[in-house]
Structure 1
Amino acid sequence: MTFNAIPRTWRHLRRYNQVIRILLKYGFDDVVDAASKDLILRFGEKFIPRLKSDKKASQPSTERLRNAIEELGPTFIKMGQILSMRPDLIPPDIAYEFQKLQDEVTPISFEEIEEVLRNELKSDPYKIFSEISKESIAVASIAQVHRGKLKDGKDIVLKIQRPGVRATIDVDIEILGDLARVLGKYFQDKITQDPVAILDEFDKSIHHELDFIQEGRNIARFKRNFDTDPTIFIPQYYPEYSSANLLVMDYVDGIKASNIDMIEKAGLDRQTIAKRGTHLSFRQIFEFGFFHADPHSGNIMVLPENVIAPLDYGMVGQIDEVTIDHLGDLIVGAIRKDINRIIRAFEHLGIVDYTVDIDAFKTDIADIIENYYGVPLKELEIRILMNEFFKLIQSYHLMLPPRLSLALKAILTAEGLGRLLYPEFDAVSELRPYLRKIIMRRYDPKRKFREGLILIDDLALLAEELPKKARIIINKVASGKFAIQFEHRNLERLVDELGKSSNRLSAAMIISALIIGSSFIIQASIAPKIFGYPLIGVLGFLLASVFGLKLIWDMFRNRKS
């Protein structure tokens, strides 16, 4: 048997056991108990550890969840950090707790760094760089960063991917996939979203972040977008020295936007920085449709003359012109307290469909709007209003398109940065010019002409394809090959119980047959004998007894679980 033929959960048995132990340690025995049937079937009863935790009583569940994720390691931490940016998927209290997740890892040795550099550069790194600092300036689960100098004296940073991190993440994602399926199977009534779909989204996101060539392209694109803006600095990316595991870019020497004391000491203007920081995000989203998905204060550097320099370009989002229009409608509707406009935006964005009770949905939106009736716009916080909408979306088991959710979260984060730097900051006023541009752009004659040409092209294509498609359907109906596929949902537990019942009935019939057959053999007094009874009959009764006891034990255990 080859290694790949072994089921994946068996290949990662030790890591799987570690995950189960940590979940039990932090009091999530309900999750492990729900999964125990599946796990026992795969690995046997001895696989499930018997641990008890006193943390359930001493810590809130959100805090226990965060601590468990931190102990589970880099992949789980990264997933928690990404989920903290999706308040439409998880409750606000969990999203808030996940924002505290700390990516604390031990730096890898400089010898290992040099080895990675040699492998990626296919050359001695000191033939390319005149200097590489032995001390890292940033360490994370995916990579660590070192300062360096090019031969021309240019200050740069080298972002080096940790050896083996891809393999570790792939193993953990396989295990997370099993856990997601268990959650979807046994906790349907407690979770509002499909955990498998959430994991698929995370899988794509984390693998994009692992590709440093893509991150370099993101930097280059941001630089082109802001090349003429003197208030924004985007570092230079060096593709000739970079690879999928190595990113080389300019060193940015500034003050983190979160360091208010240093900004004050440097004599910088906090109000100007707040405005420029939010305009950076607003332009990215509403003008370019290509944006930094995590513009928190730790990812923003402030340079002399209040120049803004974003860092960490691994996580970005992208939305098209039509989505920008509808997003603008949603925000305008929320600000103006226009319920019909909000509903229209939700429909156009694909958030609500025919399955949603629109009348009830409208009533709930009206309740939210009523809470802010009479509040002056300058006192209105977009974050609080949007969080109300996120709760509403969760309560209806709806899901925002991932890119739209990232755009909304980026807007909220930008507002938070503005208020951190300048508590009186009015994000609504700063957002208004961009919303006006969206409305004006929608009625631009050039755009309408372009959309008209696309519509004509679509109609011509429909006229060309419709007869062909209709002919195919008619031929299938006439030949008896026309079929409609149905998909059943949420019947897995019923099917599982029916399967178990069938197995028990089969076992009972076998036991009955053994007892009846053994009785006939004993009555016939067939040799050989033991203690005066036919040996085959005695063995039949013993076998029936073993099967019967096993059946009783299985029924008792299932009833208990």
Structure 2
Amino acid sequence: MRGPHNIWRLIRTGATLERTGAMNAVLDAFEAPKPVRLLARTLAIPFKPLGYKGDPKQPAATRALVALGPAYIKFGQILSTRPDVVGPDMALQLRVLQDKLPPFDIETAKAEVARELGQPVDTIFSEFSEPVAAASIAQVHRARLADTGEDVAVKVLRPGIEKAFRKDVDAFYLAARMVELFSPGSRRLRPMDVIEHFDGVVRGELDLRLESAAASEYAANTENDPGFELPAVKWDHSARRVMTLGWAEGIQIGDNDALDAAGHDRIELSERILALFLQHALRDGYFHGDMHQGNLKVAANGNIIALDFGIMGHIDEYTRRVYAEILYGFIRRDYQRVAEVHFEAGYVPADKNVDEFARALRAVGEPIFGMDASRISMGRLLAYLFEVTERFGMETRTELILLQRTMVVVEGVARSLNPQMNIWQVAAPIVTDYITKSIGPKAVISDLTRTARVLSRFGPRLPALVEAALIRQAETPEPAARPFKRWLMLSAVVGAGVASLLIALLDAIF
């Protein structure tokens, strides 16, 4: 399905932007240079009548993205959290994409729930409301469990959403392939890998059983985090296309007037949101990957409530350490160390000059640190860093795409609460604490302990492995190498024994 016929989908995208009047707004929001504007208009205007009309009651940008489909809506959701990128007017227009899209009818939702859960809706729920929120992939109903009387949220996938997303993603694959074909310089960005990553995320979001599992794991990781809570999954009433959670009562983040009226401290909330995201990403390596305003509420007690766990990010411990060291280096303005980390991790080709790279990084960091708090932006830092790494041949790191994107989204949410927030002041103690724990002497001992445990598991198998190796060696003798091989095998046996002793010692100490 990724063939040339998807060219039509891309042409219609430009035509829809033109027909809905969103083309100029989009070009202005991204400050597109004149050549790009001329090319976009030249390609779009002839096909304008073929673009989707959309809902004329909606603002132009929202109208275009809703008409184009769910993948485009997802893109708009991200932009809605970045008023510093697209401007406050555009961000406000796009915010309705988060949870205020047109819903599908309640009878269709009930039929879907009954089919998935294998029981009539009236048997499971004593009450089942009209949709209370509708987003690009699913909508939510408030209901009450018949057996316990507990209020719950029932999430139901949109009918035919899988097919709709498949069409959008197929067009994105074609676009990425065309970029690689006609712009060889872009291949280092690995556009196909980027789309494959997005495709995988979307596929996971379209199976609510996976989302239920993600919510459960996330809750286990964060149960001791003060000021943060998650609704509990109701496993007996969840399936592939239906997910039931405890009802979360609270004020939507983004409704600043309501937050102020309720007496919540928006400055403290902005700092807590950013701090929680960094803690989850660095401490757990498992973080909410879609933390826009539509997925966050503030409870009456001031706790931040996270919702919608379809997109969760995971990064391994090694990558977390690399990312933390890069942030730590920028915070300390140690550009030489930031450059060395890029080289040590293999992010920048080894044939480049580390000192030149460090000087280029200084040109990125110093102007940002010279700005006032309201203009210091992680998004701006990532944009500048992207430009520098492009010059030095760094390839796109697909494992960091979601982390970087979510960092930008979270910053946008935090700034919507407190435009004067200084992200470096909030990030510094969290990153410093993680660096201390993950790279200090105790972390080295912890790494050695885990390594020793892995080695010790081979202990019972080593005699048989050594015997088999000796038999093979006897059958095909190599006199010159035989003493070395025997020494190597003996070292393996001794190493396994030492590993076992080391584990016992370390467990006794710690």
Which TM-score applies when normalising by structure 2? 0.72
Select between 210-219 and 182-191 the one with higher mean Cα deviation. 182-191
Provide the rounded CA distance (Å) in 1 between the counterparts of 2:370 and 2:179. 43
1:5-154 matches, cutoff 5 A: 9=3, 17=8, 19-24=10-15, 26=17, 51=47, 70-78=66-74, 103=97, 105-133=101-129, 135-151=130-146, 152-154=148-150
Contact 2:373–2:421 (Cα < 8 Å) also in 1: no
* Within-5 A mapping of 1:153-192: 153-188=149-184
Q: What SS does the corresponding residue of 1:213 show, helix, strand or coil? A: helix
Structure with larger Rg: 1
Q: Which amino acid letter does the alignment assign opposite residue 325 of structure 1? A: R
TM-score norm. by structure 1 comes to 0.66
Map of 1:120-519 to 2, 5 A cutoff?
Answer: 120-133=116-129, 135-151=130-146, 152-188=148-184, 193-354=189-350, 356=352, 358-372=354-368, 380-396=376-392, 398-443=394-439, 445=441, 447-452=443-448
| Alpha-carbon distance in 2 for matches of 1:314, 1:260 | 26
Distance of 1:335 and 1:8 partners within structure 2? 43
Give the superposition deviation at 1:277. Answer: 2.2
Would the aligned equivalents of 1:129 and 1:149 in 2 still touch at CA under 8 Å? Answer: yes
* Deviates most, 420-429 or 256-265: 420-429
Native 8 Å contact 1:131 1:150 kept in 2: yes
Distance in 2, Cα, partners of 1:247 & 1:85? 26
Q: Residues 370 and 458 of structure 1: is their aligned pair in 2 closer, same or farther, counting only changes over 3 Å?
A: farther
Write the letter of the residue equivalent to 1:228. N
Distance change >3 Å, CA 446–CA 122, structure 1 → 2: same
Q: Which moved further from structure 2: 147-156 or 428-437?
A: 428-437
**SS in structure 1 opposite 2:232?**
coil
Is the 8 Å Cα contact of residues 61 and 93 (structure 2) preserved in structure 1?
A: no
Tell me: CA distance 1:266–1:8, structure 2 relative to 1, closer, same or farther (3 Å). closer
What is the CA distance between 1:243 and its match in structure 2?
Answer: 0.9
Cα shift at 1:356 = 4.4
Partner of 2:56: none
Between the two proteins, the alignment pairs up a number of residues equal to: 432
In 2, distance between residues paired with 1:460 and 1:383?
45
Q: Secondary structure at the match of 1:115?
A: helix
Q: Partners of 2:339 and 2:444 in 1: how far apart?
A: 24
**Aligned-partner residue type, residue 164 of structure 2:** T
8 Å CA contact 2:275, 2:430 repeated in 1 = no
**What are the superposed Cα offsets for residues 141-167 of structure 1, whole Å, 9 maximum, x if unpaired?**
211111101121111111101121112
Pair 345,73 (structure 1): closer, same or farther in 2 beyond 3 Å = same
Q: What is the CA–CA distance in structure 2 between the aligned matches of 1:371 and 1:215, rounded to whole Å?
A: 41
AA aligned to 2:332 is R
Could you say if the C-alpha distance between residues 266 and 117 of structure 1 is closer, same or farther in structure 2, counting changes exceeding 3 Å? same
User: Per-residue displacement from partner, 1:59-112 (whole Å, max 9, x unpaired)?
Assistant: xxxx999976554222333356569999xxxxx779x98996564753222221
Q: Contact between 1:378 and 1:428, CA under 8 Å: does it hold in 2? A: no
SS at match of 1:107: coil
CA contact (8 A) 1:159 1:246 kept: yes
**Matched residue of 2:248: which SS?**
coil
Query: Matched residues in 1 for 2:367 and 2:276: separation?
Result: 31
Say if 1:403 and 1:99 are closer, same or farther in 2 by CA, change over 3 A: farther
Q: 1:370 to 1:17 in 2, by over 3 A?
A: closer
Offset at residue 424 of structure 1 (A): 4.1
Taking a change above 3 Å as real, the CA distance of residues 115 and 70 of structure 1, as seen in their structure-2 partners, is: closer
Greater mean alpha carbon deviation, residues 345-354 or residues 159-168: 345-354
Separation of aligned partners in 1, 2:407 and 2:189: 23
**How far 1:119 sits from its partner (Å)?**
0.9
* 3-state SS in 2 of match to 1:317: strand
Are the counterparts in 2 of residues 23 and 68 from structure 1 also a CA contact under 8 Å?
no
Q: CA RMSD in A?
A: 4.3
Q: State whether residues 194 and 398 of structure 2, in contact with CA within 8 Å, keep that contact through their aligned partners in structure 1.
A: no
The secondary structure found in structure 2 opposite 1:177 is helix
Q: 1 CA distance for matches of 2:348 and 2:413?
A: 31
| 8 Å CA contact retained: 2:188, 2:395 | no
Deviations 1:163-194, CA, capped at 9 Å, x for gaps? 21112222333343233322321233578733
Q: Is the 8 A contact 2:144 2:151 kept in 1?
A: yes
Q: Distance in 1 between matches of 2:405 and 2:9?
A: 33
**Quick check: 1:26–1:53 contact (8 Å CA) kept in 2?**
no
Q: What SS class does the counterpart of residue 193 from structure 2 fall into?
A: helix
Which residue identity does 2:429 align to in structure 1? P
- Give me the whole-angstrom Cα distance separating, in 1, the residues matched to 2:344 and 2:144: 50
- Would the alpha carbon gap of residues 221 and 190 (structure 1) be closer, same or farther in structure 2, given more than 3 Å must change? closer
- The separation in 1 between residues aligned to 2:441 and 2:179, in whole angstroms, is 51
